[in-house]
Amino acid sequence: MRKLLNILLFCTTASFAQNYQYAQNKKPELQKAASIVEAPLSRVIDLNQIEEKAYFAAHFLPLSEKANIQKALDQYGAIRLDKGSYEGVAITMHSNQHIYGHPTFSWTSKITVAGGSSNVSLINMHVEGEDLHLGNGAPITNCLFKNFAFTGIVADSGAMIENCEFINFIISYTNLDFSKSGYYRNNKFIKIQGGGAEPRGTAGITIKGNSSTPSYGNTHLWTNLLTPQGDAIVLDNLQSSNWVGVDTEMWNSEGLSVGNKSMFYATNMGVLNITELGGTDYSKTPTGGYNIDAKKLLLLNNGIGSSVLSKISTTTNAFNLGSYIDITRQEGTVGGYDLSGQRLQDIYNTSDVYINGLIQSTVLSNTGTMVTDYLGTKKTPWSRPSWENLPDPLGANWKIDRVGKPDSASYIQNLINTNKIAELPEGVFYIGSSLNVGSNGEGIIGAGTGKTIICGLTDDFPLISMYNKKSPGADYFGTDYTLAYLTLQGGSKGQFFPENYWGTSYITPKFVIFRDQAIGAHFYKMGGTDNCFWDHVSFINCGIGFYQDSKYFTGDPGYIDKVVFYDNQFLNCGIGVSVQAARADNLNAWVNCKFDNNEIAYENGSNNFPIMANCDFTNTYGDYIIRGGDISLYNCDFHDNKPTIATHHFVQIWAEGCNFMDNVPFSTSVINNSTSQTILNSTIVGDAIDRKHTGNKLDRSLFMNTNLLFHPTINKFMMTVKGVVPTVIIDAAPNPYPQLLVTQ
């Protein structure tokens, strides 16, 4: 597996060449921090964030004691590992036990979570040559598995898994076979990435249920499979299953599919919801994008590419909305119905609705079971995130306090040059020049966002400057670095990626706060950023928080692809996030993020399948809250904003389960573009129809089960709008509630 890591990193770098104070911030009355190198911050309370506190409070087990890893776990309950390999002893986890790996990921042998366990945490792990096993017996409940590399998720026969979270598994595979017994229910899978790591002859993701103990209520948010050798996703006999954001490239890459299955192959399904289904089939043996047999199917923003037709069964009741592909059925007598609306592949008749292939241009006289089928049983939405008050250890007078302090830059740089990673203790480290961090695994780790601060003595240089660097003996630049557990304050930029920087892949910056910079993280005309996970990284008081500054009109414009921002906060910024791509970015997602008191919360350009999930947008005061090309919103809340023009300004928008509660125009049309809105199961307070459209391009909208409070006379279950002309299709009252980011 170690050889595979080097091969994959090499392949990744090769692909770059081919293409592709905030009012709520915590500011206690405490003793002022000392300001010399390595001086501890004398504090009455711990300012670190909750997960940081747990990490540093856990018993530290050095590598020299790795043979005692199970003994230490049983004795202390929570252990913290160093960087390196703890292989040699299989580990069994029980209730209330926690292992925290090093930010570079700690290597272990096989890990089994015993049946009946609850409140287990495993974070920053690499299970070498083995898998994360979920044991049988009583249900495994309320566990967190986050940041795993080269580790399969495997359910033992008869396992039962409930209310667990699987977050950021890279180069992984999933095998949950409950076909004989067991189940999985109400679990969250967020950023599961694989392809090529699965055992030969098995799918990248296999999930099978049974009818006696059904599986339901699970949501897979952001799934990416790169060149699976054979089958990609195989599902069978699940009562319900939700998939938000699926991208697969070159499935069946080695022709090992069992029966030449389509990429998304689902049989005997109950309710199946799929959104943002993308990718391209360019293998030597193409098999089609999907082949689905379900009682009810929702396809939203479906754009999977293949030379082989994607199909659904003859009995499936299907809703195909805001998609680029028509419904095609398998051969046989058709017993199900299909409703298609906002057909984006037909740019001249996009907002027309088709039922069983026939255009429906007036009110549907007999809806049959269509409304009740669409609504289904009301489920429980994901809870709103509980964001922490971010620490502000230097306080409001930080600029005054830094004057005359000694310069620690050479001290930290020497640690990087000597150890690759500078592991800093608690303290304030003032620097007068940039810290240079190489792409061969160099980095900086502190003692927590409330305890380790790197502060610029002036604001005319980047605090951290990245540069290309090869590992000893390598003939290619590395693509990884480490940044964790610290605050970066002042300077012109927090972290700067210069022009022609080669790129980054499979990195996990975690628990970093960027404060008081013109630009927090600046990706300046660099190469690719691919399959990364920004975990609890926040931007406060920045001109722009996260900024993709692309290189235009070149053969190698760079990109940001398949990056997930998890539990990030963007506070008091001019622009929270700006991702303006030259070569299109693909499947980036912001999950459980907070955007508050920004002039513009988010903007993009040339992005395919960007996703905002379970995010809050508040107190925005610029022209728009969000703007750009395409965007998909799921379970997002907008309230207490005061945009001067409208809530959004996007060419195309898809939304499900959202609340747009600001009494302002919902949107304006983007000039010189054919524009569309596909809004499901949501509530909109402002005017959603008059989009101030000009020019000869088409402007069209589809509202399905959405409360349009500004339009009481046409507030119906299903309505299309061409220009400003509404057409009611289903004349029933809307009853919006989320159907994707839910449990039951």
Interval 524-552: pLDDT, tens: 999 999 999 999 999 999 999 999 999 88
Burial of 396 (0-12, 13-18, 19+ CB in 10 A): exposed
For range 510-536, the mean pLDDT: 98
Q: CA dihedral in degrees (501, 485, 493, 463; nearest 10)?
A: -80
H or E element, residue 730:
strand 725-730
Angle in degrees, CA 340, 345, 350, rounded to 5: 60
Question: In this model, does residue 125 exceed pLDDT 70?
Answer: yes
> Residue 249 has what pLDDT?
92
CA distance 102 to 301: 38
Q: What is the pTM of this model?
A: 0.94
> Residue 26 has what pLDDT?
39
The widest CA-to-CA distance across the chain, in whole angstroms, is 82
Query: Which neighbouring-strand residues pair with 264?
Result: 233, 290
Contacts of 11 (CB under 8 A, 6+ apart): none
Nearest C-alpha neighbor of 505 from the set 543, 534, 532: 532
> Residue 310 has what pLDDT?
96
CA distance 691 to 113: 53
pLDDT digit string, tens, across residues 131-145: 999 999 999 999 999
> Residue 349 has what pLDDT?
63
> Residue 552 has what pLDDT?
87
> Residue 24 has what pLDDT?
34
Contacts of 228 (CB under 8 A, 6+ apart): 194, 195, 196, 198, 203, 204, 248, 251, 252, 253
Measure CA of the first residue to CA of the last residue in the chain; give whole Å.
38
Question: In this model, does residue 166 exceed pLDDT 70?
Answer: yes
DSSP 402: T
User: 354, 343 in Cβ contact below 8 A?
Assistant: yes
**Residue 235 backbone dihedrals phi, psi, to 5 degrees:** -120, 150
CA distance 159 to 595: 39
Contacts of 332 (CB under 8 A, 6+ apart): 314
Question: In this model, does residue 367 exceed pLDDT 80?
Answer: yes
Coil/strand/helix, residue 65: helix
Could you list the beta-strand ranges (E) of 681-743.
683-684, 699-704, 707-708, 718-722, 725-730, 742-743
DSSP assignment of 341-396, as one string?
ES-TT-TTSTT-EEETTEEE-S--S--TTHHHHHH-S--EEPPPP-PPPPB-TT-T
User: 393, 487 in Cβ contact below 8 A?
Assistant: yes
Q: Which amino acid is present at 516? A: D
Query: Which neighbouring-strand residues pair with 67?
Result: none
* Torsion sign over Cα 536, 382, 139, 244: negative
H or E element, residue 154:
strand 152-155
Question: In this model, does residue 38 exceed pLDDT 70?
Answer: no
CA distance 97 to 63: 19
> Residue 347 has what pLDDT?
64
H or E element, residue 126:
strand 121-127
Structure tokens at 60: 């530290």
For range 55-83, the mean pLDDT: 99
> Residue 348 has what pLDDT?
61
Burial 689-700, CB ≥16 within 10 A → b, else e: bbbebeeeebbb
Scan for tokens 């993709």, then name that residue. Answer: 548
Structure tokens at 414: 């020497």
Coil/strand/helix, residue 302: strand
Angle in degrees, CA 447, 453, 456, rounded to 5: 155
Q: Which amino acid is present at 515? A: R
CA distance 504 to 563: 11
H or E element, residue 278:
strand 264-280
> Residue 686 has what pLDDT?
98
User: 432, 409 in Cβ contact below 8 A?
Assistant: yes
User: 739, 376 in Cβ contact below 8 A?
Assistant: yes
Rg of the Cα atoms in the chain: 26
Residue 199 — pLDDT band, cuts 50, 70, 90? Answer: confident
Q: Which of 240-244, 344-348, 487-491, 727-731 is least confident? A: 344-348
pLDDT digit string, tens, across residues 688-742: 999 988 888 889 999 999 999 999 999 999 999 998 999 999 999 999 999 999 9
Question: In this model, does residue 226 exceed pLDDT 70?
Answer: yes
CA distance 69 to 490: 41
Q: What integer best gives the mean pLDDT of the chain?
A: 93
Question: In this model, does residue 17 exceed pLDDT 60?
Answer: no
DSSP assignment of 567-633, as one string?
S-EEES-SEEEEEEEEEEEE--EEES-EEES-SEEEEEEEEES-EEES-EEES--SSEEEEEEEEEE
pLDDT digit string, tens, across residues 227-286: 999 999 999 999 999 999 999 999 999 999 999 999 999 999 999 999 999 999 988 889
Percent of the chain with pLDDT over 70: 94
User: 542, 514 in Cβ contact below 8 A?
Assistant: yes
User: 610, 632 in Cβ contact below 8 A?
Assistant: yes
Residue 21 — pLDDT band, cuts 50, 70, 90? Answer: very low
**Greater model confidence, 471 or 539:** 539
Contacts of 64 (CB under 8 A, 6+ apart): none
Question: In this model, does residue 42 exceed pLDDT 60?
Answer: no
Residues in the chain: 744
DSSP 723: T
CA distance 532 to 588: 10
> Residue 516 has what pLDDT?
99
pLDDT digit string, tens, across residues 400-428: 999 999 999 999 999 999 999 999 999 99
Side-chain-side CA neighbours of 53 within 13 Å: the count stands at 9
Q: Which amino acid is present at 67? A: A
User: 574, 549 in Cβ contact below 8 A?
Assistant: no
Query: Which neighbouring-strand residues pair with 612?
Result: 590, 633
Query: Which neighbouring-strand residues pair with 544?
Result: 519, 575
Question: In this model, does residue 569 exceed pLDDT 90?
Answer: yes
